[in-house]
Structure 1
């Protein structure tokens, strides 16, 4: 009965949104949170996300590494790392945050592009892990457009990647909802396409803001994934990092007003990007944590001989008394959990 009532509520909400908020296309794709017992013996909901950034797959396992941390080093090392990471972290959901595949030259066929996509998705599909992605600036091929790539990606097993509205800019602006066991929404994720140069359109900002406005009655926390960092990822002179490391200058997109928009939205507590492979820090701006994922790529992806390839875990938890959002880095060969609190609130 509860499921039927929820379905009717969502249907009515979709109709009303078309009438009163025509630019909002409600996307009711949902995932299930995990119910466990916390250290105090109370019921607890949780959801663990693994962010895998900047793989730059060519689909050729023997492709030699740029900036190798060891010798020999090939794209196959990335495959081994990702498989070990999936098994050690055991995520409930995986997000690929851009530059999944390397630029595909004109000499490559559409079949070769699909092979590169298959090379990075097969690991999560084999383990039946739900997953989604946003495009990076390298995810493009002259033999296969982004839209064609997107159609293929969204058709793959366990993919929760959605196109979203096509008139606001970018390919793939959407949201996903995490539900409780009784089918009520408890957490949300937004996905934003930053294109080839980090440009976020006014229409994209408006769309995300309208989504948050439509869901405001839920009073839920949310996070956002995109590829190219916004200018606010830059550190101030003398700023001391509380979490992570800066290994290169921030290569941000132009000022788009996204951070101001996130403040207006009110639900986003943290954002997660890739693009700069040697950065893995989080900084707080206007009570929103701006985090890097690191760089997971061997093979064609640039890296450092002295900085381990890495990815990021984000874990949401909620019980009757509080809600927390924590994160930690997983470097190749080091799966020690050293959690950092991004957000916390009490319900008492």
Structure 2
């Protein structure tokens, strides 16, 4: 009887160990080791090419120096003391969303200091939030960097690459070589590119670029003679701009676009 009782106890203990290992594997280990596959989300492409409207207008909404941080937890600066507890990054988001709704621009352009590095603990999350109103609108939008954007968790190249992959963005990290159709990586900075705006649909200029928008990376900071100052646009950038501009000069005699 004693040996039978010991055998039963051993069997029950063995079953308990097996059950415990199964629960541990199911609830803890497997969840950490198993890769959960999700549907791949492709970038939502903007409606291109950019065009003038039939009435001959092309509206650009320019947005500068939003200095976005961490959303509702980042308080406004330079406001009245009575407003401080009620003012955050969300005020900027609300204002931008309202401006887009009122103006209905053809292109939205963000011209630097989109996020405020020292206040943005996660650059990617802040970028998603700061550009959310533009993405929600489905309107093509472009961006360049200021001197504060890279002070968070991404460098300037990473920031522009990330921005270029966001929904409806027409931003570029590097300009394209018009002859080779390859990125020109030998130019200083990140975010040098141009956007062509064609004539109104149905017009004789509908397939011609009649407005060219040039975007340049002015850098962040530099040390000159031991003094910390702002960076500047370099000769390689100006050389690229001049060369591209010549390709889009209007032939005033024929009224067509020719490459020189």
TM-score by length of 1: 0.49
Partners of 1:142 and 1:85 in 2: CA distance: 27
Partners of 1:152 and 1:129 in 2: CA distance: 18
Q: Which residue of 2 aligns with 1:49?
A: 60
Alignment of 1:148-167 (within 5 A): 148-163=158-173, 164=175, 165-167=184-186
Q: Do 1:104 and 1:140's aligned partners in 2 also have CA atoms closer than 8 Å?
A: no
Partners of 1:189 and 1:89 in 2: CA distance: 20
Gapped regions of structure 2 (runs ≥ 5): 1-47, 176-183, 221-229, 253-260
Is 1:211 the equivalent of 2:225? no
Of 173, 180, 193, the residue aligned with 2:217 is: 193
Gapped regions of structure 1 (runs ≥ 5): 1-28, 37-44, 220-348
Partners of 1:50 and 1:142 in 2: CA distance: 26
Instruction: State the shift of 1:218 in Å.
Output: 5.3
Which runs of at least 4 in structure 1 moved beyond 2 Å after TM superposition?
Answer: none
Partners of 2:115 and 2:251 in 1: CA distance: 37
Q: Do 1:104 and 1:113's aligned partners in 2 also have CA atoms closer than 8 Å?
A: no
Bigger fraction of residues in helix: 2
Of 198, 212, 224, the residue aligned with 1:179 is: 198
Q: Which residue of 1 aligns with 2:89?
A: 75
Q: Do 2:113 and 2:145's aligned partners in 1 also have CA atoms closer than 8 Å?
A: yes
Bigger fraction of residues in strand: 1
Computing the radius of gyration from Cα coordinates, the structure with the larger value is 2
**1:245-290: CA deviation from partner (whole Å, max 9, x where unpaired):** xxxxxxxxxxxxxxxxxxxxxxxxxxxxxxxxxxxxxxxxxxxxxx
TM-score by length of 2: 0.64
Is 1:97 the equivalent of 2:111? yes
**1:189-247: CA deviation from partner (whole Å, max 9, x where unpaired):** 1101100123111111111111111211456xxxxxxxxxxxxxxxxxxxxxxxxxxxx
Aligned length: 179
Partners of 1:142 and 1:88 in 2: CA distance: 32
Partners of 1:185 and 1:158 in 2: CA distance: 20
Q: Do 1:30 and 1:176's aligned partners in 2 also have CA atoms closer than 8 Å?
A: no
